[in-house]
Amino acid sequence: MNIASVVQGLASIMWLVALGVLGFTVFNAARGRKFGGGATLVVGAVVLAVALTVVAAGIVFIEPDERGVVISPYDQRGYRDTALTPGLRWIIPGERVQTYSISRQTYTMSSVEAEGTVGGDDSIQARTKDGQIVFVDASVIYAIDPDNVINLHIIWQGRFEEGVVRPQSRGVIRDAVSQYGIEEIVSSKRAELEQALTGELTKGLGNNNLLLVDFVLRNIRFSDEYAAAVEQKQIAEQQAQQAFFVVEQRKQEAEQARQVAQGQADAVIIAAEGRAQATVLQAQAEAQALQLISDALKDNPDLLTFRYIDKLAPNVQVMYLPSGSPYLIPLPTAPASTSSETVIPTPAAPTTSTTTTP
């Protein structure tokens, strides 16, 4: 409840008081009774009621987010040239005030019914530079210019949303979209498009006493045919990319297998070279050993016989050989002091060999 309503209520109460006093005075006069001071009370109540009514009719309270346009029959133009600012204001009885909110407002055009200001599909249909049809969802955040609220009232009054915001936005969006190709709109130049729309809308709304606060490009939707074509293109690109990855994977696997085979071949070569070097070293060692043995035999010819006898069983004293068998090597004559005796069999001897141990 604002102060004007309070004053109006007090004025109504005073009118009731004045009527009550007047009726009471008339009732007493009809019964021949005198009511001293009744006329004075009636006059006072009427005067106070009239004053409160006049005050209530002229008091206007403007909210902080409002501006008031005074419609005045006392001015040749029909309105005051200054808008009422927030607070308690006074107007001449007979004038009236049209208030306008200067707070931010949002006008949304969307294909989703629950999101748009207008019910149903309210998206903007536009055609791109390359002839494709797109559907644009957008929101325009705007406010009334507080300094030009009187001009707005004169030109548009309360019809500025339907008469300015909606047609300006839709027209500017269609014009801007026609300057770009469809690929540019959805990828590389979407931000540029939104910036161009913001600039054009700022001019268009400004020429009609409105301020553009922000422009939101909510969504860009393709036609069903183009959307299907884009989907098929994306599928083909994904398949081609997948095939490229498969080829690269096979190349990597082949390179890995080649590297493994190369490593195995190198390992075989290294092992073979090692074995060859070991064989060479072994042969050289054996050759050196044989050379040493040969040198030793030159100086000691009986050494070979001694090594032969030494390899025999240490307890052998008599050995029988088959008839006609030659000696493996010439045996030296045993000294007379040797305790063991070796018997050489004749051809008539039996073909068996016996070893006798003491």
Domain ranges of the chain: 3-100, 105-222, 225-299, 316-353
User: Comparing 82 with 340, which gets the higher pLDDT?
Assistant: 82
CB 304 within 8 A of CB 332: no
Average pLDDT estimate for 85-107: 90
Helix spans in the chain (H): 3-30, 38-58, 149-155, 160, 166-177, 182-186, 190-206, 224-299, 303-311
List pLDDT tens digits, range 26-70: 766 676 666 556 667 767 777 777 777 777 777 888 899 999 999
Q: What are the phi and psi torsion angles at 156 (to 5°)?
A: -115, -25
The verdict on pTM exceeding 0.75 is no
Q: Which residues contact 98 (CB under 8 A, 6 or more apart)?
A: 68, 69, 71, 153, 157
Q: 67: which strand partners?
A: 100
Percent of the chain with pLDDT over 90: 27
List pLDDT tens digits, range 148-179: 999 999 999 889 999 999 999 999 999 999 99
Task: State yes or no: pLDDT of 15 exceeds 90.
Answer: no
What gap in Å lies between CA 157 and CA 66, rounded to an integer? 14
Mean pLDDT of the chain: 79
Q: What is the pLDDT of residue 202?
A: 95
Tokens of 195: 């910036």
CATH 3.30.479.30 fits 105-222, yes or no: yes
**pLDDT band of 318, cuts 50, 70, 90:** low
